[in-house]
């Protein structure tokens, strides 16, 4: 333990000192070796060079390499063209994986925003202490890891065929007059995906609530009062005055949660391993890569995530540019 702490301190010190030394040395070289007018033009590129290098090595190159591998066979030896992409579009199990991912993308971000917005609005109407307590309770799951949350909800959905039943959901269901159900372990159940989505929504609702609550508090009181004077109901004030003014925050939350949803893996792996009709692209990628050793198909699954992520990022960048232009 002590050795690990010492290594961490050394890494931090060396990293900080090394970074400062790097910039100081190159700034000195630019100032000494180049004319002043040229040095001023070159200096910004010197400062961003490490970041560009890191992005190239750890992001650009792996992306291009993955796309390249997607055109080869399972062992990345023989070129097979678009065969892996054809398999993705025709194999029923892979189509189910894609459908599940689309379902997650549609349901999770929208529900997270809806829950966060509802809690933010309702909590803002409480007294200061009650508001802080309510928001703390909703935000608390953010401190739990994906694996920890998945384990907790595995107990919630647990089914032991009446032998010392510990599943909270079954306990509630039986108390309401129902019979014990096999949650998450039934391939014919159409709600398995939604039961897993609840876990991510539970984790991210606090994140959405905090941002939306801050955005709502930033809406000018004058606009609210003007709308009420004009005869608008509270419902109309909320949807036609408040929501349009917090639209940018809603878009940020939708974008963030959507990207998180695209790469979600822990929840599915811990709870079902992708069985019972719950498999999604990231989990299937791990299965193909580590278990089946099908590198070509695994690369195709990553390409799918990249293709879906790029438009989201482009739209988000355009939104930011539009906001900057209107300031």
Residue 228 scores a pLDDT above 90: no
Confidence at residue 1, expressed as pLDDT on a 0 to 100 scale: 66
Reported confidence tier of residue 66, pLDDT bands at 50, 70, 90: very high
Instruction: Spell out the long-range contacts of 123-131 with Cβ–Cβ below 8 A and sequence spacing 24 or more.
Output: 123/209, 123/213, 124/213, 124/216, 124/217
Confidence at residue 261, expressed as pLDDT on a 0 to 100 scale: 92
Q: Is the pTM of this model over 0.85?
A: no
Q: pLDDT tens digit string along 236-258?
A: 888 888 888 888 889 889 989 99
Q: CATH for 83-326, among 3.40.50.2020, 3.40.50.1100, 1.10.3720.10, 3.30.565.10? A: 1.10.3720.10
Residue 221 scores a pLDDT above 90: no
Q: pLDDT tens digit string along 161-191?
A: 666 667 888 888 888 887 788 888 776 567 8
Q: In this structure, what token pair is assigned to residue 301?
A: 């699954």
- To which residue do tokens 């004058």 refer? 222
- To which residue do tokens 């799918």 refer? 304
Residue 232 scores a pLDDT above 80: yes
DSSP string across 201-238: HHHHHHHHHHHHHHHHHTS-HHHHHHHHHTT--HHHHI
List the chain domain ranges.
2-69, 83-326
- Mean pLDDT check: name the lowest of 51-55, 89-93, 124-128, 258-262: 124-128
Portion of the chain with pLDDT greater than 70, in percent:
96
Confidence at residue 41, expressed as pLDDT on a 0 to 100 scale: 83
End-to-end CA distance of the chain: 51
- What 3 state SS string does 254-308 have? HHHHHHHHHCCCHHHHHHCCCCCCCCCHHHHHHHHHHHCCCHHHHHHHHHHHHHH
């Amino acid at each position: 333990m002590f050795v690990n702490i010492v290594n961490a301190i050394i890494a931090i010190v060396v990293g900080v000192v090394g970074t400062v030394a790097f910039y100081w040395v190159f700034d000195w070289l630019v100032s000494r070796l180049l004319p002043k007018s040229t040095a001023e033009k070159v200096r910004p590129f010197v400062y961003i060079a490490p970041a560009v290098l890191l992005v190239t090595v750890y992001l650009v190159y792996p992306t291009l390499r993955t796309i390249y591998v997607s055109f080869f066979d399972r062992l990345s030896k023989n070129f097979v063209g678009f065969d892996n992409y054809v398999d993705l579009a025709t194999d029923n199990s892979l189509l189910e994986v894609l459908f599940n991912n689309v379902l997650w993308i549609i349901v999770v971000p929208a529900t997270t925003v809806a829950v966060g917005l509802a809690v933010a609005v309702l909590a803002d109407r409480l007294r200061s202490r009650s508001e802080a307590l309510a928001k703390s309770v909703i935000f608390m799951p953010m401190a739990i890891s994906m694996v920890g949350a998945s384990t907790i909800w595995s107990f919630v959905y647990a089914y032991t065929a009446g032998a010392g039943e510990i599943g909270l959901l079954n306990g509630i269901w039986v108390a309401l007059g129902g019979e014990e159900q096999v949650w998450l372990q039934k391939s014919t159940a159409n709600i398995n995906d939604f039961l897993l989505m609840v876990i991510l929504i539970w984790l991210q609702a606090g994140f959405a609530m905090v941002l939306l609550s801050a955005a709502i508090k930033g809406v000018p009181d004058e606009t609210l009062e003007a709308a009420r004077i004009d005869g608008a109901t509270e419902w109309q004030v909320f949807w036609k005055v408040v929501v349009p003014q917090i639209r940018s925050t809603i878009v940020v939350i939708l974008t963030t949660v959507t990207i998180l949803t695209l790469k979600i893996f822990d929840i599915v792996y811990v709870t079902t391993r992708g069985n019972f009709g719950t498999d999604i692209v990231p989990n299937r990628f791990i299965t193909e890569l580590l278990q089946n050793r099908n590198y070509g198909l695994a690369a195709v699954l990553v390409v799918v995530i990249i293709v879906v992520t790029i438009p989201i990022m482009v739209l988000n960048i355009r939104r930011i540019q539009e906001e900057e232009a209107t300031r």
